A and B are shown apart, each in its own frame.
Chain A
Amino acid sequence: MGSLFDIRLVFEYFPLIFSRFPITLLIVVVAIGAGLVLGLFIALVRMRKVLLLNQFAILYVSFVRGTPIIVQLFIIYYGFPLLLEQVGIDITQWEKIYFVLVTYGLNNAAFMSEIIRSAISSVPDGQREAAYSVGLSRWQALRRVILPQAFLNAFPVFGTRVVNTFESTSLAFTLGILDMVGQAQAIGSRTYHELEGYVVLAIIFIAISMILEKLFVHAEKRFIQQRR
């Protein structure tokens, strides 16, 4: 006691803070998974220009991309239940984590849809025409010719998105989720030593971001090799 920074506490806090890693991982995995499925749907809606849905998708994507995720968290967690209450559905007492998962999932869907859309349109039109000319159906052309090429184009951006999502989970604690950041703050205010917790966080976030980046670069190389 009696100092602002104590290096020994960094080691003491490390296991405590890292023990909350599963929460962070849960948010990332659900967000990316839901984001991919919903994002593919939105991307298809926008590319086929489905009436009404297309306009709605444009609005949705620009809203999500144009507002900070913390604003989205607050709207979903505090605002949305009040809206539902008007029609007689009470979800105010649901666990916080569900609201967080929904927010991060919806947020990622918007970004993913843009990634997928740009990747698909990056495949030259000639590829599609060639596929049709050998007698492939629309779905077959998409699955066997377009998507494999689009996937390769999208992969690096997708990797960046995963790392981004991982870092942005650090905002979930503002709702009181005890993820790694929440845990660091909790320990900090309990022991009056906050700085050490943030040092631990920095180490963990840098390490995991680096591992993720390495994994994605490695995977990308393998995909390219496989195609040759």
Chain B
Amino acid sequence: MKKRISFYFLLTIIMGVIALGCSSEEASKQASSSDANVREISVGVGSNFEPYAYIDNDNQPAGYDVAVLKEINRRLPQYQFKYQSIELKNLLLSLDAKKIQIATQQFEKNPDREEKYLFTNEGFANYDKRLVIAKGRTDIKTIDDLVGKKVGCAQGSNTAAILEKYNQTHQQKINIVYVQNASSAVYDDIVNGRLDAGVMTRKTFKRNQEAFGDGLDIVNDSLFSKSEAYFILSKNETQLRDDIDKVLKEMKEDGTLSKLSYEYTNSDYDVE
């Protein structure tokens, strides 16, 4: 009797595995049966930055970045974008390894990145960042006040790059703490004093305050960094870059980008 049960148990497992294998095969077949003139482009989308790049209820990449790319793809029928979710810190590595041709999670320009990758010339979101501290703290106003303080940032982010650069060029160092790109952890750490400060855009700050309570303050007096978010491409994709730039310009002019920005972030793409 027991033998029979374990036999059926095994059988179910094997059937399940086979079914799973078949379904994924079918999916890949459908994708490859498209037109031969259409070039397939793999897009890597960050997986944990709501509302820009995250994974939705149906396990698909979603967010503002994806919505903009989908609209771009709609206007560029010669390409077929295929989306997959990848963690932020592995996105650029995936570009290096030729797994993807476009990466997006609100990427900002910096010299190191520009040397290795291609950026679109048109940005698609304001990305001015400010320091974020526990409510009531007044000792931190500018980046120089961070010396000796614990500052949280995500590995591979531009914030990390700026802080690392600061430490390279200054005698007195900032204590950089790399955190998983998990906003609740950063929020919790700042409120509880495990971190002295974090760096966020005003929009992300608001989103955090809404989600977790009202425990943080944002430094209004000065900007931490001024920039925009761009799509980032493999170095050799100049044609694709130019095509995307052209379409992004059109989308700015005809208001589509604003519309999408309001839909996902409740504000225009070019305001902080």
Which residues of A approach B to under 8 Å, CB–CB? 1-4, 22-23, 25-26, 29-30, 77-79, 81-82, 85, 92-93, 95-97, 174-176, 178, 182-183, 185-186, 188-195
Tally A-B pairs: CB < 8 A: 102
Query: Cβ of B20: which chain A residues have Cβ within 8 Å of it?
Result: 22-23, 26
Query: Cβ of B207: which chain A residues have Cβ within 8 Å of it?
Result: 192
In the assembled complex, the Cα of A183 lies from the Cα of B94 at a distance in Å of: 21
B270 within 8 A of A: no
B106 within 8 A of A: no
In the assembled complex, the Cα of A78 lies from the Cα of B87 at a distance in Å of: 14
Are the CB atoms of A78 and B13 closer together than 8 Å?
Answer: no
- Asked if A189 meets B42 with Cβ closer than 8 Å, knowing A2-B213, A30-B17, A92-B98, the reply is no
| Given A189-B49, A192-B212, 12 other A-B residues pairs in contact with their CB atoms under 8 A | A2-B212, A25-B13, A25-B17, A29-B13, A81-B97, A95-B24, A174-B90, A178-B59, A186-B54, A189-B54, A192-B184, A193-B211
Are the CB atoms of A186 and B98 closer together than 8 Å?
Answer: no
Which residues of B approach A to under 8 Å, CB–CB? 13-14, 16-17, 20, 24, 28, 42, 47-50, 54-57, 59, 84-87, 90, 93-94, 96-99, 181-185, 187-188, 207-208, 210-213
Q: Please name the residue on chain A nearest to B56 by beta carbon.
A: A190
Q: Which of A1, A2, A23, A190 contacts B50 (CB 8 A)?
A: A190
- Asked if A188 meets B48 with Cβ closer than 8 Å, knowing A1-B210, A3-B212, A195-B184, the reply is yes
Are the CB atoms of B212 and A186 closer together than 8 Å?
Answer: no
Q: Which of B47, B86, B185 contacts A186 (CB 8 A)?
A: B47
Query: Cβ of A82: which chain B residues have Cβ within 8 Å of it?
Result: 97-98
List 30 A-B residue pairs with CB atoms under 8 Å apart, sorted by A's residue number.
A1-B210, A4-B187, A4-B212, A4-B213, A22-B20, A25-B13, A26-B16, A78-B94, A79-B97, A85-B98, A93-B42, A93-B99, A95-B24, A178-B59, A182-B47, A183-B59, A185-B48, A186-B85, A188-B48, A188-B182, A189-B47, A189-B181, A190-B50, A191-B50, A192-B183, A192-B184, A192-B207, A192-B211, A193-B211, A194-B185
- Asked if A2 meets B211 with Cβ closer than 8 Å, knowing A78-B93, A82-B97, the reply is yes
Q: Please name the residue on chain B nearest to A97 by beta carbon.
A: B24
Are the CB atoms of B184 and A176 closer together than 8 Å?
Answer: no
Query: Cβ of B42: which chain A residues have Cβ within 8 Å of it?
Result: 93
Min CB distance B207 to A, Å, is: 7
Q: Please name the residue on chain A nearest to B93 by beta carbon.
A: A78
In the assembled complex, the Cα of A129 lies from the Cα of B258 at a distance in Å of: 83
Are the CB atoms of B208 and A192 closer together than 8 Å?
Answer: yes
Residue of A26, A78, A186 with highest tally of chain B CB at under 10 A = A186
Query: Cβ of B24: which chain A residues have Cβ within 8 Å of it?
Result: 95, 97
Are the CB atoms of A193 and B54 closer together than 8 Å?
Answer: no
Q: Which of B47, B94, B96 contacts A185 (CB 8 A)?
A: B47
In the assembled complex, the Cα of A194 lies from the Cα of B48 at a distance in Å of: 11
Min CB distance A163 to B, Å, is: 16
Min CB distance B46 to A, Å, is: 9
Are the CB atoms of B55 and A190 closer together than 8 Å?
Answer: yes
In the assembled complex, the Cα of A216 lies from the Cα of B138 at a distance in Å of: 59
Query: Cβ of A92: which chain B residues have Cβ within 8 Å of it?
Result: 97-99
Q: Which of A22, A97, A189 contacts B48 (CB 8 A)?
A: A189
In the assembled complex, the Cα of A189 lies from the Cα of B49 at a distance in Å of: 6
In the assembled complex, the Cα of A18 lies from the Cα of B213 at a distance in Å of: 29
In the assembled complex, the Cα of A22 lies from the Cα of B15 at a distance in Å of: 11
Min CB distance B226 to A, Å, is: 26
Are the CB atoms of A175 and B90 closer together than 8 Å?
Answer: yes
Q: Which 9 pairs between the two chains have the least Cβ-Cβ distance?
A: A189-B48, A192-B211, A186-B55, A78-B97, A176-B86, A194-B184, A92-B98, A190-B54, A2-B213
- Asked if A188 meets B184 with Cβ closer than 8 Å, knowing A85-B98, A174-B87, the reply is yes
